[in-house]
Chain A
Amino acid sequence: MSELNTVKSAGVLKTISGKKYRGHLVASETGAAFYEKGNDTPLVEWNYTRLHRMDNIRRGGTSSQVTVILKDDSRYIFELDYGLKVYNHMDQHWADKPVTPKTRGDELHRLAELRGEKIQVPKKHLITRRHPNRSIAGDIGIYLMLILVGAAMVFPLVYLVGSSLKPLDELFRFPPTVWPQHPTSDNFSDLFVTMGQSWIPFSRYLVNTVFITFVGTFGHLIIASMAAFVLAKYEFPGGKMFFALVTTCLMFSGYVTGIPNYLIMSRLGMIDTYWALILPAFAAPIGLFLMKQFMEGLPTALIEAATIDGAGQFRIFWHIVMPNVKPAWLTMIIFSVQGLWNTSAATVIYSEAKKTLVYALQQIQAGGIARTGQVAAANVIIVAVPILIFVFSQSRILETMASSGIKD
């Protein structure tokens, strides 16, 4: 008896007469046997000439019952103590866990060798179709389209990263290359070292942008979530109308409202302060819109239960609602960051020391083609941040976007 393929499982054996024996069932490729506890000789033994089959009934996933059926139609019931045990009809033996196709194939071969049999391994289909109503030609077409258009989508970004790593001579080589032959980080160090000695160092723009993005996003998350919470979960006069207004304002970008906004901000004395960028970001319609739609999916019972427990509204909001909408946080964050990080803010901020990264990029760009490398490097820094945030939070963001629809 080969030890390799022997599986031992502890449990209770029930005979037809109703007697119970505690012990363990041993199964191998030559047969099966039941050993009573503390006894070395088997109580019953079935070799394959007697054994018809062994059935496995899973109960609740963790405990299982095995029926040993003999060829004379008598049967034993073996109840497993613990753990998931699976009897495999294919290779007729016990396993501690469901046998994966790969190991099953391996075991099958080993068994066949031991018994001296030949086993036909079913041929695998080269293309397995997930859906019966999908044509293979269509699948190929879709892959082809995705690869072609995907390449076109990603090419400018690859070219951008490539340019940022090119030394000066390669930037102006004819014909131009996409990827540098001798990559260098000179362009990046130029940004911080060479331009670091200019009137306003490049790092200053970076710090400004990080500050604006961080404060704006954080405030937006809190303020818009509070509003979204009451709009989603309570009915009060004006609530629906307010939300309809917000939905309409999704369409109006910062450019269209830029001029009146400038007039209003100058009245409020906010021109040339960070507030001119941060406060409008707090009220960005897209964040409230997505958060409200997502919060509608929260079970109302959750809030009712907390109200009955005597929790105040703010407690409910902070300790019950907010932790339950974490995926929506990330979505709000990505859209807010996207807006703030990419803002050039040239119209509301005049002091050079308060300007943003994108403004700096535009200034470097205005420096002409001699600065091509630095432009690419600055651009890579600007582009990398939102993309990285998105890469790491994609699944959560998509979860939120599933509730983004406008019900008209």
Chain B
Amino acid sequence: MQSQSFGSRFMAMKRDQFHHGLAQAKRNKICYLFLAPYAILFFTFFILPIATSIFYSFTYYNILEPARFIGLQNYVNLILQDEVFLTAIKNTFVIAVITGPVGYILSFLFAWFINELPKWLRAVAVVIFYAPSIAANAFTVFSIIFRGDAYGYLNSLLLEFGLIEAPRLWLTDPNYMMTILIIVILWMSMGTGFLSFVAGFQGIDKSMYEAGYVDGVRNRWQELYHITLPSMKPMLLFGAVMSITSAFNVCDVPRALCGYPSTDYAARTVVTHLFDYGFSRFEMGYASAIATILFLVMILCKKAIAGLLGRVGT
């Protein structure tokens, strides 16, 4: 009697497990069904291109002929023979090193400042600071402001104050190009990361500040370091990812402002170089090698920043 009841209970348990497993499998199926449309498109337009890039980077491919495997030749040529690429690397590096961290810190600082404002003023300030990056094409107005003739706003201003004697060619003189580019990119750097910071500041539990005050937090800097920063780590990492993206993918701004190609390639970046080989010369293998290097650098950058942020506030 006892064993029978045990046996039937065991059977019931097994049956339940089976049904549970079945339900799990059914739910998994539904999950995959929901994910499928996005996953298919995502793999086609985001993962496959990266894989394709890596594959073609080891070949000579010009669309007309079938791809021919050449090993590391593209990478060797890039680093050893392509002087323009070295200029591009140098420019991208300068832009990334300056606009990346500076844009990131400015985004954070101004999000912090804005958070100290009364509510209605905060809304206005967020629009003012975020507008340049959301209106991605507004930067073309700089081609009027920095125009090379006397009608350019900057030139006329400087002429009027007698600071220069003849209009400067801000956008075509290699001496000025990078400075102008960095200014324009910084102007646009209050982007998605900035928005995330603003939201992050608003989401911090107010009672933590009160507790901090009782515990002896005496000024806003201590409050920032001991309370705000640690609770904003996830936003900081998100902002960093967004900064890396915009710092390394500089392409539209130099193309629109400094011309394409620019004088002496002085405003060439890695992405414009990639564009040149991909869409003008159709050397797809070579362009793919450039893209692959860029992928690697960006992933390494993100890893390094995630490691750095892990130590913030501790």
Q: Which residues of A contact B (CB under 8 A)?
A: 131-135, 138-139, 142, 145-146, 149-150, 152-154, 156-157, 159-160, 163, 171-176, 178, 223-224, 226-227, 229-231, 234, 236-237, 239, 242, 245-253, 255-264, 268, 279-280, 282-283, 285-286, 288, 313, 317, 334-335, 338, 342, 347, 358, 361-362, 365, 369, 372, 375-376, 379, 382-383, 386-387, 390-391, 394-395, 397-402, 404-408
User: Could you tell me if A402 and B291 are in contact, using CB atoms closer than 8 angstroms?
Assistant: no
Identify which of B141, B160, B251 contacts A255 (C-beta below 8 A).
B251
Tell me the minimal C-beta distance from A175 to chain B in angstroms: 4
User: Could you tell me if B31 and A259 are in contact, using CB atoms closer than 8 angstroms?
Assistant: no
Please name the residue on chain A nearest to B47 by beta carbon.
A245
**B contact residues around A255 at 8 Å (CB):** 249, 251, 271, 274-275
**A contact residues around B138 at 8 Å (CB):** 156-157, 160, 379, 383
CA gap between A160 and B198 in the complex, in Å? 27
B14 within 8 A of A: no
B52 within 8 A of A: yes
B265 within 8 A of A: no
Q: A157-B135, A252-B50 are in contact. Are A376 and B234 (CB under 8 A)?
A: no
B48 within 8 A of A: yes
Please name the residue on chain B nearest to A383 by beta carbon.
B135
Tell me the minimal C-beta distance from B76 to chain A in angstroms: 20
User: Could you tell me if B42 and A246 are in contact, using CB atoms closer than 8 angstroms?
Assistant: yes
B93 within 8 A of A: no
Tell me the minimal C-beta distance from A130 to chain B in angstroms: 9
CA gap between A154 and B234 in the complex, in Å? 29
Number of A-B contacts (CB under 8 A): 291
Identify which of B31, B140, B143, B195 contacts A239 (C-beta below 8 A).
B31
**B contact residues around A408 at 8 Å (CB):** 234, 237, 306, 309-310
Q: Which of A154, A163, A227, A362 has the most CB of B within 10 A?
A: A227
Contacts beyond the supplied A154-B131, A226-B38, A390-B127: 13 A-B pairs with Cβ under 8 Å:
A135-B220, A154-B128, A159-B145, A227-B37, A231-B35, A249-B47, A250-B241, A259-B284, A259-B291, A280-B46, A313-B34, A382-B135, A408-B237
- Residues from 215 to 272 in B contacting A, C-beta threshold 8 Å: 217-220, 223, 232-238, 241-242, 244-245, 248-249, 251, 256, 271
User: Could you tell me if B220 and A133 are in contact, using CB atoms closer than 8 angstroms?
Assistant: yes
Please name the residue on chain A nearest to B209 by beta carbon.
A131
User: Could you tell me if A260 and B50 are in contact, using CB atoms closer than 8 angstroms?
Assistant: yes
Tell me the minimal C-beta distance from A360 to chain B in angstroms: 11
CA gap between A397 and B28 in the complex, in Å? 31
**A contact residues around B203 at 8 Å (CB):** 402
Tell me the minimal C-beta distance from A297 to chain B in angstroms: 11
Identify which of A173, A259, A261, A401 contacts B196 (C-beta below 8 A).
A401
User: Could you tell me if A157 and B41 are in contact, using CB atoms closer than 8 angstroms?
Assistant: no
Chain B contact residues, majority secondary structure: helix
Q: A226-B37, A259-B287 are in contact. Are A264 and B127 (CB under 8 A)?
A: no
B7 within 8 A of A: no
User: Could you tell me if B131 and A157 are in contact, using CB atoms closer than 8 angstroms?
Assistant: yes
B56 within 8 A of A: yes
User: Could you tell me if A283 and B274 are in contact, using CB atoms closer than 8 angstroms?
Assistant: no
Q: A139-B116, A251-B298, A255-B271 are in contact. Are A401 and B256 (CB under 8 A)?
A: no
B171 within 8 A of A: no
B153 within 8 A of A: yes
CA gap between A39 and B49 in the complex, in Å? 90
**B contact residues around A160 at 8 Å (CB):** 138, 141
Of all A-B residue pairs in the complex, the 9 with the closest CB atoms, nearest first, are A405-B234, A401-B199, A260-B49, A227-B38, A283-B41, A383-B135, A260-B52, A402-B203, A259-B278
CA gap between A231 and B31 in the complex, in Å? 8
B126 within 8 A of A: yes
Q: A133-B218, A153-B190, A387-B134 are in contact. Are A226 and B35 (CB under 8 A)?
A: yes
User: Could you tell me if B213 and A132 are in contact, using CB atoms closer than 8 angstroms?
Assistant: yes
CA gap between A145 and B150 in the complex, in Å? 31
CA gap between A171 and B153 in the complex, in Å? 11
User: Could you tell me if B145 and A256 are in contact, using CB atoms closer than 8 angstroms?
Assistant: no
User: Could you tell me if A252 and B46 are in contact, using CB atoms closer than 8 angstroms?
Assistant: yes
**B contact residues around A234 at 8 Å (CB):** 27, 31
Identify which of A250, A342, A365 contacts B143 (C-beta below 8 A).
A365
CA gap between A20 and B294 in the complex, in Å? 85
**B contact residues around A236 at 8 Å (CB):** 27-28, 31-32
User: Could you tell me if B195 and A401 are in contact, using CB atoms closer than 8 angstroms?
Assistant: yes
B129 within 8 A of A: yes
Identify which of B143, B198, B200, B256 contacts A405 (C-beta below 8 A).
B200
B18 within 8 A of A: no
B103 within 8 A of A: no
User: Could you tell me if A257 and B42 are in contact, using CB atoms closer than 8 angstroms?
Assistant: no
CA gap between A150 and B256 in the complex, in Å? 24
User: Could you tell me if A146 and B130 are in contact, using CB atoms closer than 8 angstroms?
Assistant: no
- Residues from 104 to 121 in B contacting A, C-beta threshold 8 Å: 110, 113-114, 116-117
User: Could you tell me if A227 and B278 are in contact, using CB atoms closer than 8 angstroms?
Assistant: no
Q: A153-B128, A223-B38, A234-B27 are in contact. Are A261 and B275 (CB under 8 A)?
A: no
User: Could you tell me if B110 and A146 are in contact, using CB atoms closer than 8 angstroms?
Assistant: yes
B172 within 8 A of A: no
**A contact residues around B294 at 8 Å (CB):** 256
User: Could you tell me if B220 and A159 are in contact, using CB atoms closer than 8 angstroms?
Assistant: no
CA gap between A224 and B45 in the complex, in Å? 14
Tell me the minimal C-beta distance from A317 to chain B in angstroms: 7
B142 within 8 A of A: yes
Q: A146-B113, A264-B45, A264-B49 are in contact. Are A256 and B291 (CB under 8 A)?
A: yes
CA gap between A404 and B160 in the complex, in Å? 48
B73 within 8 A of A: no
**B contact residues around A288 at 8 Å (CB):** 38, 42
User: Could you tell me if B31 and A258 are in contact, using CB atoms closer than 8 angstroms?
Assistant: no
B166-203 vs A, CB cutoff 8 Å, 1 = contact: the mask equals 00000000000000000000010010100110111011
Identify which of A134, A150, A163, A338 contacts B141 (C-beta below 8 A).
A163
User: Could you tell me if B117 and A146 are in contact, using CB atoms closer than 8 angstroms?
Assistant: yes
**B contact residues around A249 at 8 Å (CB):** 42, 46-47
CA gap between A138 and B202 in the complex, in Å? 20
User: Could you tell me if B127 and A391 are in contact, using CB atoms closer than 8 angstroms?
Assistant: yes
CA gap between A255 and B291 in the complex, in Å? 9
Tell me the minimal C-beta distance from A64 to chain B in angstroms: 29
B295 within 8 A of A: yes
